[in-house]
Amino acid sequence: MRFPMRKFLSYYKPYLTLFLAILACAFVVSAAALVFPLLVRHITKDVLTGDLSVALRGVYWIGGLMLVLIAVQNAGNYFVDYKGHLVGARMERDLRGELFAHMQQLGFGFYDKEKTGQLMSRITNDLLLVSELYHHGPEDYVKYFVRFAGAFAVLFMINAPLTIAVFCFLPVMGALSLYFNKRLNRAMRTNKERIADVNAQVEDSLAGIRAVQSFAGERVEIEKFNRENDRFLDSRRNTYKAEALFYNSFETIIQLISVTVIVFGSAGIVRQTLDLADLITFLLYVGYMIEPVQRLTHMSTQLQEGITGFQRFHELMSIRPAIANVPDARILTDIRGEIEFRRVTFRYEEPLSPVFRDLSLRVLPGEYVALVGPSGVGKTTLCSLIPRFYEASSGEVLLDGVNVRHLELQSLRGSVGVVQQDVYLFAGTVMDNIRYGDPSASDEAVVAAAKRAHAHEFITSLPQGYLSEIGQRGVKLSGGQKQRLSIARVFLKNPPVLIFDEATSALDNESESIVKASLDALAQGRTTIVVAHRLSTIRNAGRIIVLTKDGIAEQGAHEELLARDGSYARLYAKQFQLA
C-alpha cells in the first residue's frame, strides 16, 4: 500500500504555526550548541595566547556569552520538549477521536471478523507510535542535520584531511546502524509476539480457572505457561545479544575515531599543520558528527513504526460502513409496526451458504409472534435484518411497507427495540444503564420503567440501589436480572416494534416467570417478535412460526400446531421429554 502522505500531513494543519515555531526553535537550539566549541577554541587559541593584560576581560566576555547560549539552549529545549510533545499528543488525540467515531459507524459484519483486542491496540499503541513520528520525526531531522552539517563545515575549515579521515568512518557506522536496526527490529517484534503469547496463556488459564481446578489441570496449565515463559526468555536473550553487539561495535568505532583524531592531530601538531587548540576543538566537534549517525537506528525504527501505525490507521479509516443511509433516506413518523420479509435470502459472507433462502413472512401491526426452531437455524439472524444490523443478500425487508434500506438508520433503529440474548451492561450505575434507552429520561421515568420491567425490587435491594455500579468492577447480576434491565431500557425507548431474543442459558423457573411477565407487559401495544428457546414462554403467542433449515415449516397458534403433529409437535415433545 502506498503511504498516504497527503492524509498524513493534513493532521498538521490545525497546529501548523506552532509546529513551525517548534522546528525553528529546534534549529536555533542546535545552531547555538555548535557555537560552544568555537568559543572554547577562541579562548584557547586567541585569548590565552594573546595579550594577557586584556585576556581576563576576554575570558569574562566569553563566559557571559556562554551563559547566554546556555539560556537560549535550555529555554529553547524546554519549548521544543514541552510544546513538541504537546503538538504530537494533540494530533494523536485527533486521530484517536476520528478513529473511534469511525469505529462506531462500522457494522456488525465488521465486528464479526475483527478481534476487539487488536482494535484496541490500534487505537492506543499504533497511534502512540504515530504521534512520536509526528513531532519527533521532523524535530530530530532538523536537529541532527544542523549538528552534522555545522560540525562538518567547522571541522573542514579547521583541518580538511583529518575531517575526511573521520568522515570515512561514518558510512561504516551508518551501515552497521542500519544492519542492526533490522536485526533489532526483528528481535523486538519477536519479543512482542512472545509476550503476547504469555499474556494470552495467562488470560486463557485464568479465565478458565474454574475449569482448570475442576479438572485438576493445574499442572498442565503450569507446564503450558512455563513453555511460553521460556520462549519469551529465549527471544530476549537474542535481543540482548544483538544489542550488546551493536553498542559495543559502535563504541569501538567511536574509540577508533578518537584514536585517529588524537594520533593524526598530534602528528599535525608536530608537523605544525595544526595547533593544540584546533585539536581540542576537533575532539569536541567530532561527537556532533557521530551522534546523528548513531541515532540513525532509533530514527529509522521510529520512522518505520510511525509509518506502519499510520498505514494501519488509514486502512481502518478507509473501510466504508457496509450499512449506511442512502442519499434521500426517509424518516417514518407514526410507525404502525408492520413487518414484511419478501423473498429474502441472506448469507453472512460470500463463501458461506445462505442461512435462509427466499423467505417470506408478514407480521401485522401489534401482532405477537414467536419464532421457534432448532438451534442455529437462523432465528436471531432473521430478526437482525429488521433493524438492518445486516443487509438482506436479496429480497426485501419492509417496515410499514417501506424497504428498510430506504429508511434513515437512526429513525429505523429508534423504532425497533431489541432485547438481545446476551445483555450487555456498560460500566456505570444501574440508573445509567437503564437510561441508555432514552438519555433524556428523568430519574422518575427510569424508576417507572424499572417497575414495569419487574426490576425495581431487585434494584432497590442492591447496596446502593439505582446508584449501584455494574459492569466489570461492579455488582454482579444474574442472567434474568440483566434481561429485566434490558427490558426496562426498551420500556424507556418505547419503540413500536420489539424483538426479544430469549437467553439461551436457562433461567431458573422463578426468574423465567418474572422475565416472562416483564416481556408480556412490554409487548403490549407493539409488534413483537420473540425468538424462543423454551416453548413454555410462547404458549400464548398469537402466532408461532417454526423455522427449519428449509425455511418456514409451519405457523399457527400453539394448539393448532400441536394438533398438526408436525415440526412444532416434535420440538415440543423433545423439550417436554428433556424437561
Residues in contact with ligand ATP by the rule CB under 6 A: 112, 348, 355, 373, 375-381, 504, 531, 533
Q: Which is nearer to ligand ATP, 377 or 398 (CB)?
A: 377
CA torsion through residues 38, 42, 44, 45, sign: positive
Q: Residue 420 Cβ, how far from ligand ATP at the closest point, in Å?
A: 11
**Shorter beta-carbon distance to ligand ATP: residue 34 or 547:** 547
Least spacing, CB of residue 383 vs ligand ATP, in Å: 8
The answer to whether 258 touches 251, Cβ cutoff 8 Å, is no
Q: At what angle do helices 443-452 and 509-523 cross, to 10 degrees?
A: 120
Residue 414 CB, shortest distance to ligand ATP, in Å, is 23
Tell me the three cell numbers of residue 157.
575549515
Q: Which is nearer to ligand ATP, 239 or 420 (CB)?
A: 420
Neighbour tally for 513: CB within 10 Å: 15
* Minimum gap (Å) between residue 119 Cβ and ligand ATP: 16
Comparing CB distances to ligand ATP, the nearer of 17 and 375 is: 375
Of 66, 45, 53, residue with least CA distance to 158: 45
SS3 labels along 180-216: HHHHHHHHHHHHHHHHHHHHHHHHHHHHCHHHHHHCC
Q: Phi-psi category of 219—alpha, beta or left, where left has phi over 0 and alpha has psi -120 to 50? A: alpha
Nearer to ligand ATP, 253 or 532 (CB): 532
Nearer to ligand ATP by Cβ, of 33 and 397: the residue is: 397
The minimum distance between CB 380 and ligand ATP, in angstroms, equals 3
Nearer to ligand ATP, 121 or 421 (CB): 421
- What is the closest distance, in whole angstroms, from the C-beta atom of residue 185 to ligand ATP in the complex? 36
Count Cβ atoms below 10 Å from residue 445 Cβ, excluding itself.
Answer: 16
Are 522 and 498 spatial neighbours (Cβ–Cβ below 8 Å)? yes
Q: How far is the CB of 379 from ligand ATP (least distance, A)?
A: 4
DSSP string, 253-317: HHHHHHHHHHHHHHHHHHTTSS-HHHHHHHHHHHHHHHHHHHTHHHHHHHHHHHHHHHHHHHHHH
CB of 435 vs ligand ATP, minimal distance in Å: 28
Of 182, 180, 161, 160, give the one whose Cα is nearest residue 172.
180
Nearest to 170 by CA among 291, 262, 268, 278: 291
Distances in Å between the alpha carbon of 560 and those of 34, 528, 543, 557? 95, 20, 10, 5
By C-beta, is 114 or 340 nearer to ligand ATP? 114
Is the CB of 328 or the CB of 349 nearer to ligand ATP? 349
Q: How far is the CB of 77 from ligand ATP (least distance, A)?
A: 53
Label each residue of 99-120 as H, E or C. HHHHHHHCCHHHHHHCCHHHHH
For cell 549538528, name the residue: 147
Chain position carrying cell 551563559: 67
CB nearer ligand ATP, residue 97 or residue 376: 376
Q: How far is the CB of 214 from ligand ATP (least distance, A)?
A: 25
Calpha distance 245→178 (Å, rounded): 14
DSSP string, 324-342: ---TT-B---S----EEEE
Residue (161 or 376) nearer to ligand ATP, CB: 376
- In the chain, count H helices and then E strands: 20, 12
Minimum CB distance to ligand ATP smaller for 253 or for 382: 382
Q: How far is the CB of 330 from ligand ATP (least distance, A)?
A: 28
Yes or no: say if 552 and 361 are a contact pair by the CB < 8 Å rule.
yes
Q: Which is nearer to ligand ATP, 371 or 431 (CB)?
A: 371
| In the complex, minimum distance from the CB of residue 352 to ligand ATP, in angstroms, rounded to a whole number | 6
Closest CB to ligand ATP among residues 378, 414: 378
Q: Which residues pair with 428 in a beta bridge?
A: 470
Largest CA-CA distance found in the chain, in angstroms, rounded: 124
Residue type, 420: Q
CB of residue 372 to ligand ATP, shortest distance in Å: 9
Which residue's CB is nearer to ligand ATP, number 150 or number 378? Answer: 378
Instruction: Write down the least CB distance from residue 2 to ligand ATP, Å.
Output: 32
The secondary structure element, H or E, covering residue 38 is helix 16-42
Q: Are 76 and 7 a contacting pair, CB within 8 Å?
A: no
Distance CA 257, CA 262 (A): 9
Query: Cell 507446564 belongs to which residue?
Result: 223
Q: Shortest Cβ distance from residue 402 to ligand ATP (Å)?
A: 24
